Amino acid sequence: MSGLSTPSSIPFPRLRPWLAAVPVLLLVAYLVLMDNGAVSQTGAFLHELMHDGRHLLGVPCH
């Protein structure tokens, strides 16, 4: 049993920035891919930006 090593701990300090970025990335993905104006209707610029992002990614929007 001398060849077995102890399991190392998960490096949470190195994962913390990625874990913080996941909700932001999910929100951006929702706004670009699924929103269709429900949230981004507050400003015409934001709506057009999301609309152009859909076209850029090839997502059908109309």
Secondary structure (H, E, C), the chain: CCCCCCCCCCCHHHHHHHHHHHHHHHHHHHHHHCCCCCCHHHCHHHHHHHHHHHHHHCCCCC
The pTM assigned to this predicted structure is 0.52
Residue 7 in domain: no
Number of domains in the chain: 1
- Domain of residue 44 covers 29-62
pLDDT, tens digit (0-9, with 9 covering 90-100), for 9-62 = 767 777 788 888 999 988 888 877 776 666 666 677 777 777 888 888 887 777
Residue 19 in domain: no
Residue 50 in domain: yes
Distance of alpha carbon 42 from alpha carbon 22, whole angstroms? 24
Note the pLDDT of residue 48: 79
